[in-house]
Amino acid sequence: MNIAFIGLGRMGSAMVRNLLRAGHQVTVYNRTRDKAEALAAAGARVAESPADACQTAEAALTMLADDAALESTVFAEQGIAAGLAANAVHISHSTISTALARKLAEEHSKRNQHYLSVPVFGRPEAAEAQRLLVVAAGPAPIVDRCRPLFDAIGRQTFIAGSEPWQANTVKVCGNFMIASVLETFGEAFATLRKSGVDPKVFLEIMNSLFASPVYAGYGGIIVNEQFDPAGFALKLGLKDTRLVLAAAEECASPMPLASLIRDRFISAIAHGQGDLDWSSIARISALNAGL
């Protein structure tokens, strides 16, 4: 397919390389142009603006930091909404609010464009290896039309529903599942340390019990206090927790554990941990235990 790709951070760049490998024609745009240039060698065309990137595209894929970045990229004068042809699709891979997803669906529809929310699970390494988990939502015929793109970037595609925002709910709930592991480890480690038990031994047992790469990975980071550089910055963890709480409030579902995690992240921000890895939330449990 002939596609545009906007937002070339580590995740986006890896996805573009896989799309090119799969034989798609990709025009790229990034606010800082050097990241776009870097993909030219792999076969991407470099555009001057989002609208320019979209001109001949059947689909415009976006992978941006947050609601504000995506919204301005879509609705700017030279933005996606202005550049995308009728019947073409905007596929948002970003972790955004369900509210923005609904607005995008509505606004693209007014312009006879389509919109899908297709967030992904996986870190940059998984993106490089074409191992992302892809969660798609939107009208079934449009999802079907774009399947080759999902196959190019991930190892499996899941359908969350016919409303695009449903995929965003799945994504933020998934991130909540991971964040809760961090809080759980934080509390257990604090109690164990105050009891004179080596957290490494506990982690070894948990690795036998859960046998999960998520537990092994984050458990190891916390035990070894490897919070800097961040794999995923705590301030982004707070943002995602805000998103899951907002999604849950919209459908009147209270999530007290998500509230607890939000309070922990805020406390961590107050202690200057915003740029550390989000698993450094464990320090707040330690702090409250007097460690």
235 is catalytic: no
* Angle 191-233-73 from CA coordinates, rounded to 5°: 150
Q: Which two tokens stand for residue 4?
A: 């545009």
Set 171, 194, 235, 239: catalytic member: 171
Measure the CA–CA gap between 2 and 63, rounded to whole angstroms. 17
Closest approach, Cβ 181 to its own copies, in A, equals 8
Cβ distance to its own copies smaller for residue 21 or 210: 210
Question: Nearest distance from residue 183's CB to its own copies, in Å?
Answer: 6
User: Which CB, 29 or 176, lies closer to its own copies?
Assistant: 176
Smallest gap from residue 236 Cβ to its own copies (A):
15
Angle at which helices 67-75 and 98-110 pack, to 10 degrees? 10
Three-class secondary structure of residue 136 per DSSP: strand
**5 vs 185, beta carbon nearer its own copies:** 185
In single-letter form, the type of residue at position 149 comes to L
Q: What do you get for the CA distance between the two ends of the chain, in Å?
A: 56
Phi, psi of 67 (to 5 degrees): -55, -50
Give the nearest distance from C-beta 243 to its own copies in angstroms: 12
Closest to its own copies by CB, 32 vs 195, is 195
Which residues are marked as active site? 171
